[in-house]
A and B are shown apart, each in its own frame.
Chain A
Amino acid sequence: MKFAVDRRRFLTLAAAAAAMPMAARHGAAAEPFNFQASWINDAEFTGYFIALDKGYYAEEGLDVTYFSGGPDVIPESTLIAGKADLTLTTPDTTIKAIADQGAPFRIIGAQYQKNPIGIVSLASNPINSPEDLVGKTLAVPPVNIISVEAMLKTSGVDRSKINIVPYAYDPTPLIKGEIDASVDFTTNVPYTIEQAGAEAVSFLLYDFGFTIFNDTVVVTEDALKNNRKNITGFLRASRKGWNDNFEDPSVWPPKFADSWFKGTGRSIENELYFNRAQQPLMEHPDGIFAMSEESIEANIEALNAVGIAAKREHFDTSVLEDIG
């Protein structure tokens, strides 16, 4: 079925267009910009917190509202509903929605050059490669089933020989040995396992053939056309935030203990581990958010292999080019 622009959104756009000359006249007034994160507040979003706190967005003339994510927040949906101007997504979901449902999304950047999702297991019962999974029980968040199946396919492992069960956010069954491995952010779970007194091993799906980005930066086609200036500003400021962060990944998380990380139930040590672990997955010679032609090609290939009709046109590198 075709995507239809709804009445309300159309009206909002019309109103925004009408208001534009006014905003130009006033010049300095910061423009509201809504950013929907893909998960609850943790180190995954440190760069944005820095950019907010240090006023990098304000320097771009943006008044950014930050929306935390969660399991029921489907980032792409917030774009369609007009609640957010820009969001972070997993590319397989986004491209599947574009290809199957004609959703008007464009991927304009990638936070993670390498998807941090991987297979985590205990060192006492290690799973170091897809082949080791045969005959084992693997917990997979239902959302990631496609990715796992893709990785198994490229590795030539028979899916039917693996007992796949749902993964419900809590690593306890893995720590207690009820399952042999689980699919999760390798930047995060190994820390928890170590805290519980065990040792973890992990490998990335990326390293076994599922070569996709993660936390891809997504906007609607409309916004890319009509709100380009602000989107560019947001990306430029965010990159500055991330650059600050990676100068020394140990500096920022403790500063957010009483603000961004307050009451999340997670520890600052955990965020520090996360922040250090994500650095190699994010950095790129062309800067944070870069999407090189080779990596776009790798994404398309990996997605095509699992039957998601990804195309080059789903990725738009023009904003990245603008910010240099």
Chain B
Amino acid sequence: MERLVGHLRSVDPEASESLRIVEYFDVLLKRGAGVDGLLRGAAVLSGTVAGAEVRGRVSRRGPEGGVPDDAPGARCSSRRSGEGWSVWLERGGDALADDEMIVERLALGVELLEARRRPAGGLETVIDAESPVAERTKVLARLHLRAASPVRIIATPADAPEFGAPTATVPTPYGLLRATLDTADPSAPGEAVSPAGPAGLGTRVRADRAPESWEAAVVALRLADGTDPVVDASYLGGLLLVARGHDPRSPHEDVVALARLDPRAAHILRVLVESESMRSAAAALGTHHSTVQARHEALTRALGYDPRTPLGKIRYVTAELLLRLTDPAYLPASDG
């Protein structure tokens, strides 16, 4: 069985290397790995020595995971640094294609670890539901906010640019994301924080309930796509409660049933749900009424409910929403 497994870097170099790098570091951070674990990851993924200097202490790890015997080699150009830390790969000669991304993820990780160890934390404490309210309030005071001040949190991808407001990179069920504090008054539009790329806008809450806003922002970001790059969680209303009860790694069976449909069946289902009558559904699909009837019955069996009843419609729409919030690794392959 071990023959199937090689070193990370030697297995199928063609396949989605960048996804593999992102996934590797995301899991490390989510699971609380330290600087040495990050360095071992960067070293094995790059095949060369990875190093970090954090508050004056230098650590280096080779691709086998050990501390290299030799003196530090040339640091590659894609070195990153922040307040009190820097990270690098040691590679004589030109950087390889993935070096940049590996160093970036390593930097993100070290930045996160450093942010976590700062006394009382920063924004990551404010949005952390696990941290005591007293501690969150203390940090809010440092940000010149009262417990009752209106705020919302904005979620963007971890590598999105900062936009001049308190920000932190934090692990979520959907990987590392950037949280940014928005204290702008919505009635004064000139002041509003406006992210450009994909973003999820959290609900507006009292500052001491910022974790709720962050949770909503993360959901909203997940729903953002090419058509709607910026999604405001407040538009979801009560659906937010449903999303909050959803585990992206353990989807409800309605979600699983939906994921199993091939693209054609999924399209027919959508038309069926959105059409006033079976006749108009048949017209929209350009097929015969009896064909649509048969499709409708087959879909009802596949889903375990009739998607055209009032309750069925709600179940379908809810499942559709949750499907977009589910980790694809935990979904079955579509039948298509």
Q: Is B truly associated with A?
A: no
